[in-house]
Each structure stands twice: as C-alpha cells, then as structure tokens.
Amino acid sequence: LLADFRWGVPDLGAFPMPDWLWAVREAARRMPVAELDYGDPRGSAVLREVVAGYARRVRAAAADPEHIVICSGYAQGLSLTLSALARGGVRRVAYEDPGSPASVRAAAAAAGLEAVPVPVDEQGIDVGALTATGARAVVVTPAHQWPTGVVLGPERRLALIAWAAAHDAVVIEDDYDAEFRYDREPVGALQGLAADRVVSISTVSKSLAPALRIGWLLCPPALADALVSVKHISDRGSPVLDQLALARLIESGRFDRHLRRMRGTYAARRTALLAALAEHAPGVAVTGLAAGFHAVAHLRETADERGLVAAARARSVGLYGMSTCRTSRATAPPRLVLGFGNVGERAVTAGISAIGDLLRERG
C-alpha cells in the first residue's frame, strides 16, 4: 500500500530495540534464581512496584502494588475483569457506542455476560442511558474516547462515579493511549477519583509495541482476590523476564525518553495529516486529534463510506470507516478513522494526495 491509515498501531519501526535489549540483559543479570520458579500470579513484585509509581506520577492514579495484576495485554485484562465480575454476580456489561463492540461482546460472551451498547456524545458516555440499561459494569475510554477522541467531561466523570456507587457497579477504564496528548497535560486516570469502583487497564501496546503483550490492572481492593484467582487459573502468571525488563526500562528513564520522542513523531504526523487534508480535501472536517495517533474525518451526510473505502483501496490507500466501530455497523453518519501511528509523514502526504479527489467528490 502507498499508505495504510490503519488505526491502533504505533510506529513499529520506532520500537527502542537497543534500549529493550539493554533492559533484558540487565534484568537477566540481576534476576535472582528464585524468580525462575512459579511466582505470584499477580506478577513480579518489582514491576508492580514500578508500575504503581509510574501510574501515580503520570496518570494521577491511586495505585497500590498489592492490588495490581500484570496481564498479557488489554484483551486478557478485559477478559479477566469480566470473568471476576461474573463470579460476583454481575450479569450485564455496557460499552461505549461507537467503541470496540466486537472485542467487548466477545469477552463478555466468554464470561457468560450480556453486553449492551450505550451512546457517546461530545461529553463522552451518556450516563443517563447507561443507567437505563441495568448494567452493573461498563467499559469506557475516558481520557480519549475510542474512536471519537472526546474527553469524558468533569461532570460526566462525577456522574459515572456516582452511578457506580449507586448501583454497586464497576467501571472498567481502558487507558489505552493517554501518554500521547498534544493540547495539554495528559488527562488523569478516572481510577484516581474512585479506586474502589474502577478497574483501570493499561498496556505498553501503544507506547512500545503490541507484540510485547504486557499490561496491568489497577484493581479495587474488593475485586483483587477474584482477579488474582482468575489470572492464576488462566496462565499462572505472565513471563517474568519481560516484566523485569520493563521495570528496568521504566526505572532507567529510557521509557520516558522513548515516549517524549514518540510524542514529537506523532505530533509531526498529525500536522502532516492536517496539512494534506487542508490542501487536497479542504471540505473534510477533522476531529479527535487532541491525543493519540488517530483522527476522525467527517464526510458529507450523503457520502458512501464503504464506496470511498473501496475506491481508495483501488489506489493502494488503506482507509477505514467508523461503521466497524458501531454496534449496528451503520454507515451513517459517514466517518473515516484515520490512524497515523505507523504511517510516516511522507506516506501520510502521499496517501491523502492520491485520494484527494475522492474525498472532495465522494466525501
């Protein structure tokens, strides 16, 4: 492809391989022999301590190492959480719409739960509509809603926490790309406001690479034992050497250095995308660019989203419609979700240039 605007993928070529190899060697050199045994299903005590400090410093989270569970990425983290909630009697989980309906519904079905959609507006999830569902759990992306990019407003945050308290419910926070914000300091984690009601799931899939399969859960104390039990049954714990390597990477400052570098990289690609659209498709409005590495392009109400995607593919440009993020798969209103995490500046410019006439005529 000339340019593939696939969402959810960081710059894979920018993975800090020298730093990672250094961290692995350091971790292996320092690792006590006892670490090679079956360990705590919560994960390495070293990484849990480091992650707690990082979450407090960067995400304003109320992180306690004793109530952190290391997991193999977001998918496992969500699966473990829903399974633990099902054990506790939860029967229905809500999720944002648009959002990630396929992944939430699949994880919910595996846990024996019903999954129901709740609409999102310019302030985030509609808490009134959430209340009407009768759900006792909800999956949200408050810092940078996926895929619209809106931030859960202060009043909505308080309303969501009040909903959780009133209905003995749990909020599952997907804190997926909060490190990359361009208009202000990163929005604090919702978990920091209600540690007893929020399970916060974070990973290094966006900050480093998905293939590492490392994430962590900040667990409410009342749910921690159930989560640890489910994790133990699932796989007895995540690979220890990789956990220790990540701990060394964070402790050494190399992780923060990588994030600073990538913020600059993604900001430049964001600028290139806006410039290319302004030049080749000035009528297309763009939102959701305050953080992360994707944008939402708003097409004319009469635009054929799927037809535009197919026409662009014929020109070797990968486009992706928001319809796949909607429970109904509806193509109205027509939107494109443009990922630029793994697309260089030149490719961004070349890709938009190649389909500029399509965006002007069909978008």
- pLDDT score at 262: 96
pLDDT for the residue 181:
82
Residue 178: the pLDDT is 77
Per-residue pLDDT at 61? 96
Q: What confidence score (pLDDT) does residue 69 get? A: 98
Q: Quick check: 297 and 282 in contact, CB under 8 A?
A: no
Amino acid 187: pLDDT: 80
State the DSSP code for 188: P
Res 185: pLDDT: 72
What torsion do the CA atoms of 178, 94, 85, 212 make, to the nearest 10 degrees? -30
Domain ranges of the chain: 3-12+256-362, 16-252
Place of tokens 């419609």: 321
12 DSSP assignment: G
CA distance 8 to 189: 20
**Topology of the domain comprising 16-252:** Aspartate Aminotransferase; domain 2 (3.40.640)
Over the chain (363 residues), the average pLDDT of each successive run of 10 is 96 98 98 94 98 96 98 98 98 98 98 98 97 98 95 96 98 90 81 97 97 98 97 96 98 97 96 97 93 94 96 98 97 97 98 96 74
DSSP 254: H
- The structure's pTM equals 0.96
pLDDT at 127: 98
Domain over 3-12+256-362 is classified CATH 3.30.70.270:
no
Give the whole-angstrom CA distance, residue 360 versus residue 135.
43
56, 70, 143, 219, 328 from 242: Cα distances, Å: 22, 11, 27, 22, 39
